[in-house]
Homo-oligomer: A and B are copies of this chain.
Amino acid sequence: MIFNNPSSTIFYAIEEAIKAYRKLSAKEIKKVISDITVDQALILQIISENQITQTEIADLIFKDYASMTRIISLMIKKEYVIKTVNQQDKRAAVLKITKKGEISLKKLTPIINKNRQISTNGISQTELEQLKTILNTITQNCKIN
């Protein structure tokens, strides 16, 4: 029926893997911090490590700018992040992690790393590289058109 040929199947396999991974991540993150999402945890990590604008974060993790605005504003509401205006370029936001954000991140980072390790368990570095190469080909094929 639907999963009839390899080039179709692959997209189901991708969807299945990414959703399983997100589910695992969400579950594990919730164990240590109950009010933060997987995306927010990742973004918190990015902000803490870099002086970076919303647009740059969005490009980095493949999010829409509109989504980024909303995610950041939820993070501000929950007091993980503070946002100010860049005085050199008043269009740009300056994002800073709060004390609460820092404390949370200390608990989150090992969880995020562990999730990645668990999910790639039994897969060699070579296989991961292969996987990445093929996925990049798909990405390029899609972007050309």
| Interface residues, chain A, with chain B CB atoms under 8 Å away | 1-2, 6-21, 23-24, 27-28, 45-46, 49-50, 60-62, 116-123, 125, 127-132, 134-139, 141-143, 145
Q: Is the pair A123, B116 in contact by a Cβ cutoff of 8 Å?
A: no
Interface of A is mostly: helix
Q: Is the pair B62, A12 in contact by a Cβ cutoff of 8 Å?
A: yes
A-B pairs, 10 with minimum CB distance: A20-B142, A13-B135, A24-B142, A17-B135, A7-B120, A17-B138, A6-B128, A20-B139, A13-B132, A7-B116
Which residues of B lie under 8 Å from residue A12 when comparing CB positions?
61-62
Closest to A46 in B: B2
Whether A61 touches B15, Cβ cut-off 8 Å, given contacts A6-B125, A50-B1, is yes
Compute how far the CA of A46 lies from the CA of B12 in the bound complex, rounded to whole angstroms: 14
Which residues of B lie under 8 Å from residue A134 when comparing CB positions?
123, 127-128, 130-131
Closest to A28 in B: B145
Q: Is the pair A17, B139 in contact by a Cβ cutoff of 8 Å?
A: yes
